[in-house]
């Protein structure tokens, strides 16, 4: 390892600089106006750490070998990542997040698989197998594998290729498998061996069981819980990466892993709070896609014409738009922003009510509307905008379902009972844009559609919005 004149390791200094860039980048992600620069800053920090590692890292006095292969792998990964990111649609952004997160978990698991057979015999003779080094390897393997397998299943679910597998005994099977995983880790760490390769078979068994557990862990979870699952798996990947940081005494890797792990954990807690449910309840998979259906719905559906909707919106003082996954599916965010600008020009106060779990990943609606250049100040969290609902003239619900369902407040038999919602029924008038009367991801009927104040505007969201814009312009 190269040093400054005063003996300060250059590599460690670069890792500290990279860690600072990670932290600053994460801080800048807190606002859309600085988010892009934050991403660039964090990416620059990672590139800085990689270059420094290749240039200055030495093991047993020898520099890193196979540099051409390393550079080739970096180039291939960069090209593939750039190509995928450029082509992905906003509707597929949750799948992309799950896929990339899974790749991080897979990388952490591979590091552990490669490092375990190379634990030095003299290190084992001095410390035995029960030490922090071995524990970091095994935890990186288990957590990374679970994150990888679970993220791939989440990817399949979000992409509609994999359905829910709801078997009552599944939770008990998962508990047994987790107990086996913990038992195997303890078994490996308490063996009296002279060479770690003697336990390689058990490590492969541990990997296999973790892989199966990662699949079964996510399979029963309903689609409505995907935002929670994604953030939880994201925290798993961060913890697995942090284990690699401990393993290599790499400050940049450790800092990055801790940031991802802690941010993912905090986000998971916030998502659970937004749904008024415990994490155990989410993992048990008792919400969405089955189970209780709630009370029987009574009432009639009332429709509204485009011309009537245009008049109602144009002569309102306050309008709130509630976006949901249907807005993303229709790729209608730009049309939606065009409508809000048109109404603003007419003197209407327009805001967006953002529910924390609207869409299929944390912050999905924020990202979607940011792409359409909707001012960040117009986006208001549901708990902040709810008190203003009684003074709101019109609420326009576009593709949202479960997050506006009054059953969460009125029906104790409903599976979403107790979940905080956007209280759109308190507004004076409600317009709901939907393709049809399909149910949301919780697979229950939406009582809002049958409310006396509600008028349905059926059709593709993008087409309906564009037609509505034309009607407003003609007034």
Give residue limits of the domains in the chain: 10-283, 306-474
pTM listed for this prediction: 0.79
Other CB atoms within a 10 A radius of the CB of residue 31 amount to: 10
324 and 397 Cβ atoms separated by less than 8 Å: yes
Nearest Cα residue to 371 out of 406, 344, 336? 336
Radius of gyration for the chain, computed over Cα atoms and rounded to the nearest angstrom: 26
Q: From residue 281, how far is each of 82, 234, 414, 471 by CA, in Å?
A: 37, 19, 15, 46
316: left (phi over 0), alpha (psi -120 to 50) or beta: beta
Nearest Cα residue to 234 out of 83, 324, 103? 103
Residue 128 CB-half CA count within 13 A: 9
φ, ψ of residue 298 to 5 degrees: the values are -125, 155
3-state secondary structure of 349: strand
**pLDDT (tens digit, 9 = 90+) per residue, 446-465?**
888 888 899 999 888 899 99
Q: From residue 111, how far is each of 65, 81, 241, 453 by CA, in Å?
A: 17, 21, 9, 58
Distance of CA 463 to the CA centre of its chain: 29
Q: What superfamily does domain 306-474 belong to in CATH?
A: TPP-binding domain (3.40.50.1220)
Residue with tokens 């029960």: 130
Intervals of the chain under pLDDT 50: 1-7, 285-292
Q: Quick one: pLDDT at residue 298?
A: 61
Q: To which H or E segment does residue 55 belong?
A: helix 32-56
CA gap 329, 90 in Å, rounded: 8
Distance of CA 413 to the CA centre of its chain: 29
CA gap 297, 177 in Å, rounded: 41
Q: Which of 159, 402, 426, 460 is catalytic?
A: 402
Decide if 402 is catalytic: yes
Q: Quick one: pLDDT at residue 325?
A: 82
């Amino acid at each position: 390892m190269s040093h400054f004149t005063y003996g300060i390791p250059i590599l460690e200094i670069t890792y500290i600089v990279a860690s600072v860039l990670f932290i600053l980048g994460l801080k800048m992600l807190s606002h859309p106006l600085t988010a892009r620069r934050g991403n660039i800053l964090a990416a620059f920090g990672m590139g800085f750490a990689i270059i420094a590692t290749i240039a200055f890292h030495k093991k047993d006095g020898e520099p890193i070998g196979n540099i051409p292969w390393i550079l080739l792998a970096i180039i291939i990964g960069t090209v593939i990542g750039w190509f995928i990111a450029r082509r992905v649609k906003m509707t597929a952004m949750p799948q992309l997040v799950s896929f990339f997160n899974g790749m991080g978990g897979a990388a952490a698991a591979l590091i552990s698989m490669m490092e375990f057979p190379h634990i030095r015999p003299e290190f084992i003779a001095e410390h035995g197998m029960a030490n922090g080094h071995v524990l970091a390897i095994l935890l990186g393997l288990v957590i990374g594998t679970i994150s990888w397998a679970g993220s791939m299943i989440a990817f399949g679910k979000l992409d509609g290729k994999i359905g829910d597998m709801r078997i009552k005994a599944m939770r008990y099977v998962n508990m047994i498998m987790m107990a086996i995983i913990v038992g195997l880790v303890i078994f490996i760490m308490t063996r009296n061996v002279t060479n770690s390769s003697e336990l390689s078979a058990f490590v492969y068994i541990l990997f296999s069981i973790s892989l199966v557990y990662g699949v079964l862990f996510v399979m029963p979870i309903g689609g409505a819980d995907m935002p929670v699952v994604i953030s939880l798996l994201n925290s798993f990947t961060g913890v697995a990466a942090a284990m690699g940081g401990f393993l290599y005494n790499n400050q940049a890797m450790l800092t990055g892993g801790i940031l991802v792990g802690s941010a993912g954990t905090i986000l998971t807690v916030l998502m659970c709070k937004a749904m008024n449910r415990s994490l155990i309840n989410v993992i048990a998979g008792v919400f969405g896609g089955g189970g209780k259906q709630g009370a029987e719905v009574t009432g009639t559906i009332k429709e509204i014409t485009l011309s009537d909707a245009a008049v109602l919106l144009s002569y309102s003082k306050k309008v709130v738009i509630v976006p949901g996954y249907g807005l993303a599916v229709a790729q209608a965010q730009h049309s939606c922003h065009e409508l809000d600008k048109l109404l603003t020009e007419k003197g209407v106060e327009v805001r967006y009510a953002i529910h924390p779990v609207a869409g299929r990943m944390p912050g999905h609606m924020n990202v979607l509307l940011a792409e359409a250049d909707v001012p960040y100040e117009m986006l208001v969290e549901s708990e902040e905008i709810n008190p203003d609902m009684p003074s709101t003239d019109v609420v326009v619900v576009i593709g949202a379902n479960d997050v506006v369902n009054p059953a969460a407040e009125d029906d104790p038999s409903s599976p979403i009972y107790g979940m905080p919602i956007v209280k759109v029924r308190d507004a004076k008038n409600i317009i709901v844009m939907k393709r049809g009367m399909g149910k949301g991801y919780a697979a229950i009927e939406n009582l809002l559609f049958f409310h006396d104040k509600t008028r349905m505007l059926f059709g593709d969201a993008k087409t309906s919005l564009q037609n509505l814009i034309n009607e407003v312009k003609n007034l």
